[in-house]
A and B are shown apart, each in its own frame.
Chain A
Amino acid sequence: MKKLSIALLFLATACTKQLDKEPQGSVFTGSLQTPENTDAMVIAAYSALGNDHWSTPYTTMWAYGSVRGGDAYKGGAGTGDQPDVDAYEQFSSNRVDIGESDGTWYRLYIGVARCNTALQLIEAMDPSAYPQQTQRLAEVRFLRAHFYFILKVLFNHIPWIDETIPKPEYDTISNRSFSSDELWSKIADDFRFAADNLPVTQTQAGRVTKGAAQAYLAKTLLYQAYTQDDNNNVTGTNQTLLAQVNTLCDSVINSGQYSLFADFADNFLSQFDNGPESVFAIQFSKADQTPEGRVDAGAGLDYPMDAEYGCCGFHQPSYDLVNAFQTGSDGLPLLDTYNGSNVAGAGDFKTSTFDPRLDHTVAIPGHPYKYQHNLIFQSAYCRDPATYNGFMSLKEVVAYNDPTFVKYPPFMSSSKNWQVIRYADVLLMKAEALIEMGQQDLALPLINQVRTRAAASTALLTQPDGSATSNYGMTTYQPGVNCTWTQDYARKALRFERRLEFAMEGYHFFDLVRWGVAADVINTYFATEKGRTPHLGSAHFTKNRDEYLPIPQNQINYSKGLYKQNPGW
């Protein structure tokens, strides 16, 4: 009995330690505080740039910028396939509890959180042990501002969390702690710090540069310059900010680092990744020891339904967009009448003249798909041509034999970079600022620079027999010859130019909201487009509501009502 008691006692003491089980395969926050691990956390923040997905495509922004802007239909297998994006497209059926809105919100805040963790680590480093401290701060604040920028244009009123706020206090930060304008200033502050502290060039092509920061700062200030009231109405333009946009664009232009590609196509071909037009691009990779490669997964639904690809037929250019590429006999876009007749529906690209950017942007039945003479696109390659139409998008995809193409059944994408800001945008941002400052004459050569390049970009646009794919014909704006260059006309021309240049790149809806014309433009689009396709029967844009997505109901609930819903919702 005594022996037994001793044995039990021994067990008792020996086993107390047995209940200490250390986590396996993990690290604690404290162990991250080394120069190497701090740099690694900076990489993790960069990684969030490209961690998007077709269900929350915050890289290509196709669902938020193209579909909502009337550039594109959702596509896919009918309106029930990815119904959240259908709700975005119709506006009338958008809801506060759409899962994709909540998912995108969360994914973007993951990016913010990674940045804040990295910033805390960087700031805690001793500069003597960590000489790259300032530059890393600048890089990460750039990245944070990028995530906030997307959140801002999607949701408008967002909670601002930075590295100074301890996690337990996150639930005290409202999405109305700062006004809309103050939020723009916060984002601008981050970009400004980055612009002031980043080098002009980086040996590692994926790291952000001074030029990228200046361009993104210009973009931010341009958005901020169009002042909005509490109901999303644009009330005017802030001339001081516009002047800053102009100056910042000048710095980028004069840096000597950037230029337009000779051919518009090069922006969307993998072999030109990180070329001279790329101001800020998200780096993707393959054969990189990840399961499928770090590919542009946000574009994973955007390939045609033929044997070389096989999924999923999303992101289909609208008739309206295709018609916009038609040019008049003066070589200019039909600014007011482009959509009067549905040349796209007629499928005739030979009688009228077209902007060559059409065949870089839109896959058209009978035209080579992505410049491939051995793959002539057919409307049957669309998932559901009866519900939508026979077009597909081209910019975010690659040829099936492109070295960056990756199939991860049932989806596919590529490791081709995605440009968030390209040099053409810098030129057109400067032009926009000048026009809004009444200096439209200075804007003219910038717009024409973009058009000249576009007009010259026909080398790849041939049929297998060598003939031109479509009937191309476009020229520059020539005041007195083919136009009268007033401020109003210049504004209209600039806005049309942006649409053509950046079509399907996820810009258009945000441009419309910035300019304060979203409700008019989109409801006009619906009125016409409804008659051409069966899927927009109940689509409607509600002014003073649909300029922004609702704050996801989940987030309002999780914040226990601290977050306030956007107007109109």
Chain B
Amino acid sequence: MKKLLFMLGCLILLLPNIHAQSRPVTGTVTDEDGKPLAGATVQVNGTKTTVTTDDQGRFSIEAVKGQTLKISFVGDQPMEILVGNKTVYSVQLKAQAGNMNEVVITGYTAEKKKDLTGAVSVVKMSEIQNIPDGNPVKALQGRVPGMTVTSDGSLNGAVTVRMRGQTTLNISSDPLYIIDGIPTQRGLQEINQDDVESIQVLKDASAATIYGSRAAAGVVIVTTKSGKNGVKHIDFDASTSLQLYTTKIHVLNTEQHAKAYWQAVVNDDRFGPNVSNPYDPSVTNGIFTYDWNHDYTNPVLNKINIPEYIDAAHTMKASNTNWFNEVSHPSILQQYNLSLSNGTANGTSFLSVSYRDDQGIIKKTRSQKVTVRANLDYNFFNGRLKVGEDLTGSYFKDAQLPIGDIVSLSIIENPVIPVHTVDGGWGGPVAGMDDRHNPVRLIYDNDQNNNNFARVLSSTYAQLELLPGLRFKTAFDVDYAGDYYRSLLKPYQSGFLSSTITQVGTSFDYQGSLTWQNLLTYDVRFHQHSLNLLAGQEYIDNHNQNFNGSAQGLALADINYAYLSEGTSNILVNGGGEADALLSYFGKANYSYQDKYLLSATLRRDGSSKFGSNNRYAYFPAASLGWRISQEKFMLGTAKVLSDLKLRASWGQTGNQSIPAYATYSLYQSIYATDLTWGQSAGSAYDINGAGTGTLPSGFTSTQTGNPDLKWETTTQTNVGIDFGFFNNALTGAADAYVKKTTNILLNPPYLGVLGEGGNEWINGASLENKGIELSLSYTKSLSRDLTLTVSGNIAHNALKITYLPNDAIIGYPGNGTTYTIIGHSPNTYFGWVAQGIFKTEDEVNNSATQPGKGLGRIRYADLNNDGVVDNNDQEYIGKADPDFTYGLNTTIRFKDFDFAFFFQGVKGGLVSNGFKYLTDFTSQAPGSNWGSRVLSAWTPENPGSNIPALTMTNNNNEGRSSTYYLESGSYLKLRNVELGYNLKNALSRYKFYKARIYVQAANLLRFKSKSFTGPDPEIPGSAYPIPLIATLGVNLTF
């Protein structure tokens, strides 16, 4: 009976293919490591007979002798076997970098890679799977040609992504992210990396135009995992990492600091500004006294006297604090991920939960993340209707420490200050020092403050096949992210710094986005013509609201007590909101003839609420062509060598509307007051009654000038490319060249002062041009049965320049607005003086141009206009930050059960402004701070070879000015990632593992930089949170 039913099932399924001679053919499909491949597709060539392999990689299919079975699996090279007399076959698939049948998601639909006509990069997820960055985008640095990713080491810190240079001049040059079809500009930090099935990057206009608005800076498409028909898996990944701070600046210890101070004061009296009237041969900074020979011709320091206590009250012992060590620690990062997937013909499910706990290398900078995901789909009516849901929720708990302050304070805090006073209080500055906080106190006094963030990202969709090839899909997406932050500000006493304020702050905000998409697709094939049509409509509603309150006078400085209701004074509330919407219609047609000639055309019409009703809508067209030369008959002769060759060309336009929601309106706001600690009050309240206190009458403040004529910013991109494969696609690659021009750039330029506040007005105006080339190559070679080598690399060059700026905007960019304007230059160009070394002899000083503050040991600036005076008119463009090339190189070696991979990433060319140099090379620019150890080798008459300016306590020569002295090579090469894995499957063959692998991995292990860069890390010059070295031990298990 069972057999009968089975037969019946087969009959129904295989009705059109029944042949008298057909018989079951069975087999096993494994990957190149010999692991069974579940979910591989086995098809009888030329028929619709298709099955997928089960958990053990087994399949059973009805076939006739002489037919060909085609076995394929995503990411692997498909294989064909001829059905002969055998009925059992074992098939081993090889991973294939240049797999032309790989499915690529491009704009609401999927295409095969061979049919692509745009510039699309596919990220190999296997390469980045175990990188513990906590943000999949960070792992892409150097992996995608033309895409640069920059971030510092901070936990959940901002990541800047630039695709093919900088596309616009206003705030947002970030790409658009499409996560399971949901457009968002939030980036990927809230997505569990282990859930990601694939990442694709759309770089040119023909690929991106379908996303129209917001796609000008490129599109990153992320597809998360889903269950597969016939596959039941449990995946478990765990890793533990040790993180280390390896890029500290060398700062002075107490003795060195005291010596540098003495040297500076003696220099000033000896040949500096006080040479005619030596000011203070006794030299003291209030703490140190010096035993020296008082001889200005040959000053000799015999001894530095450091008192036992640095304060008059004798609470702080003179110390030798290494503030870096006090604020940082080697820390642990743990990640766990558990996922379950299941699938039947009626539907699939994928569930995952992940936990990540990053302790950070700055003490107490902990970040904890939990994500859950449920991707479900259901098939009805023989698969004609598919209903599904992709849902993810994430929760982050992040410590809120003033990280920038803590890291920079660990450089500038005086080493003589103790961390604690003798009675356990906080050490702090005393007279003669800067008013800088004890960074350890900042850590511990903020330890109780955590931000709580949650995001729900959900896409619910239904897809109905109306007619064969004609499908309608509707999707409703909800993306809500919110923060809750409650903070406690504690009173403190730390040196002469103190506060008696106990304050609670509470803030809530949410950012919501609702998206409704409706798509109609029609796929048809007749003879050698293939046509795919898409028509769609999309409505996006973004809205956010926030409120925050604070109150002082809490009875207890305890976070469990610190709620707004407990505040008794200075009770403040604030809140605001914003909303915008986009409405779009789009269509796309892909046509191919004989799989050789490919044509694609796209048109999108976007409307944005941010523009006035007259300019609300804009059209964004695109078209592309492809020619698969390798399919031509005349290429048959070379097919053994040149296995694939395609030429591509595309042109298209995309838009940008990244401006505040209400830029078209002139607005006044009732601003009662603003924080005046660091900036001027913009408030409108006044104590007109002269009472000195109480609620004040207030008015309105102009906040912006509206521009009702604002319109879309447009980026037009032309791309030509070539895809190639040699030796049966063992060597594959792609090369692209592009020109990207952005016009009508939305700008908010600085404005004439007489307009007062609210003179800021958004305008359309500037134009920008990016030109570049990109090359990627990948080579896979099996050197023996046990040894496989894969090397892939990419390199990209991009040149950026501003081609037009309205007069009103020119002065907002480096230059003087008249003889030097930024037009024709990159916006990332430095403007300033040319430092020509330092004056080393009196002759040099006397025979140089007039330069206020010049003298022995001082920086000599070039008199560029040769008028005998170094002044404001002697500035020019002194370098640019944009690198010449960015590149990445990944190598994977598989040997038996071992796999080994290492990835280098680098940047060549471009100058960075070394933001720490004012501390590492000068005592005069932050005289009350600690300094870097380079000051110890500064110029003196006895050390004539040095090019570090003589130490001085007065900055008469204005050496902090923008000059070439601060510009250093930004080139670097980093060993981003190295990983050694071992496949335990054979070792643990007793257990039923589908996959078992342990690995060790190190991130940021090696760093090569130019000698001319004197700071710690040219990747993040002057940045706060260092990029740590991360050593990881992890395991990937699949049951």
Contact = CB atoms under 8 A, between A and B. Distances in A.
A binds B: yes
Interface of A: 1, 4, 7-8, 11-12, 15-16, 18-21, 23-29, 32, 37, 39-47, 49-53, 55-56, 77-81, 83, 86-87, 90, 92-93, 95-97, 102, 105-107, 109-114, 117, 159, 161, 167, 170-171, 173, 204-207, 270, 273-274, 283-292, 294-295, 297, 305-312, 378, 380-387, 404, 407-411, 415, 417, 530-531, 533-535, 537-538, 552-555, 557-561
A379 B698 CA distance: 42
A537 B272 contact: yes
B34 to A, nearest CB: 50
A47 B684 contact: yes
Given A286-B692, A289-B672, A534 B576 contact: no
A387 B927 contact: yes
A266 B16 CA distance: 107
A50 B686 contact: yes
A1 B472 CA distance: 9
B687 A284 contact: yes
The secondary structure that dominates the A interface is: loop
B569 interface: yes
B491 to A, nearest CB: 10
B466 interface: yes
B539 A18 contact: yes
Contacts of A283: 686-688, 690, 692
B842 interface: no
B209 to A, nearest CB: 21
Given A28-B667, A384-B432, A206 B687 contact: yes
A308 B499 CA distance: 9
Nearest to A550: B872
A52 B808 CA distance: 27
B811 A557 contact: yes
A78 B687 contact: no
- Nearest first, the 5 A-B pairs at minimum CB distance are A113-B756, A537-B273, A205-B690, A44-B699, A290-B673
Interface in B564-602: 569-572, 575-583, 585
A286 B691 CA distance: 10
Interface stretch (B127-135, B274-282, B451-459, B887-895): B274-282
Contacts of A43: 684-686, 688, 697-699
B89 interface: no
Contact of B683 (A24, A51, A311, A404): A51
A383 B757 CA distance: 34
B579 A40 contact: no
Contacts of B672: 289-290
A429 to B, nearest CB: 24
Interface stretch (B251-259, B389-397, B951-959): B951-959
The secondary structure that dominates the B interface is: loop
A387 B518 contact: no
B682 interface: yes
Contact of A411 (B273, B677, B871): B677
Interface stretch (B43-51, B184-192, B700-708): B700-708
Given A173-B754, A288-B695, A380 B669 contact: no
A183 to B, nearest CB: 14
Given A41-B700, A93-B958, A27 B668 contact: yes
Nearest to A94: B852
A292 B686 contact: no
Contacts of A81: 927-928
B676 interface: yes
A37 B700 contact: yes
Contacts of A79: 924, 954-956
A492 B670 CA distance: 51
Given A105-B753, A294-B681, A305 B954 contact: no
Contact of B676 (A93, A291, A404): A291
Contact of A114 (B539, B577, B756, B818): B756
A404 B661 CA distance: 41
A415 B693 contact: yes
6 contacts: A19-B581, A55-B679, A109-B755, A109-B756, A290-B696, A560-B807
Given A43-B699, A294-B687, A52 B680 contact: yes
A56 B689 contact: no
B924 A307 contact: no
B693 A285 contact: yes
Given A97-B872, A410-B435, A205 B689 contact: yes
Contacts of B430: 380
B262 to A, nearest CB: 11
Given A15-B583, A102-B753, A407-B499, A77 B928 contact: yes
A77 B816 CA distance: 31
A415 B871 CA distance: 42
A534 B690 contact: no
Interface string B465-503: 010000010000000000000000000010111111100
A561 B570 CA distance: 47
B518 A11 contact: yes
Interface residues of B, number: 127
A29 B668 contact: yes
Given A109-B756, A383-B928, 17 more contacts: A7-B518, A15-B581, A28-B665, A78-B955, A81-B928, A95-B872, A109-B755, A113-B758, A114-B757, A284-B687, A285-B696, A305-B435, A309-B496, A387-B953, A415-B692, A538-B956, A552-B753
B953 A32 contact: no
Contacts of A92: 852
Interface string B514-548: 00101010000000000000000101010000000
Nearest to A26: B667
Given A18-B583, A83-B955, A285-B692, A380 B960 contact: no
Given A44-B699, A307-B493, A96 B872 contact: yes
Highest count of chain B CB atoms <10 Å: which of A20, A28, A97, A206:
A206
Nearest to A535: B954
B942 interface: no
Contacts of B581: 15, 18-19, 21
Highest count of chain A CB atoms <10 Å: which of B268, B277, B700:
B700
B849 to A, nearest CB: 15
Contacts of B883: none
A110 B757 contact: yes
B616 interface: yes
B901 to A, nearest CB: 49
Given A79-B955, A93-B852, A19 B608 contact: yes
Highest count of chain B CB atoms <10 Å: which of A25, A286, A382, A553:
A25
Contacts of B66: none
B751 interface: yes
Contacts of B431: 305-306, 378, 380-383, 385
Nearest to A537: B273
A210 B680 CA distance: 30
A402 to B, nearest CB: 12
Interface in B596-621: 607-609, 613, 616
A411 B677 CA distance: 7
A387 B954 contact: yes
Nearest to B569: A287
A350 B693 CA distance: 42
A83 to B, nearest CB: 7
Nearest to A50: B686
Given A43-B697, A288-B687, A83 B958 contact: yes
Contacts of A309: 496
A37 B755 CA distance: 21
Contact of B696 (A32, A288, A531): A288
B286 interface: yes
Interface in B146-179: none
A113 B926 contact: no
A109 B754 contact: yes
B284 interface: yes
B56 interface: no
B750 interface: yes
Nearest to B664: A23
A15 B496 CA distance: 61
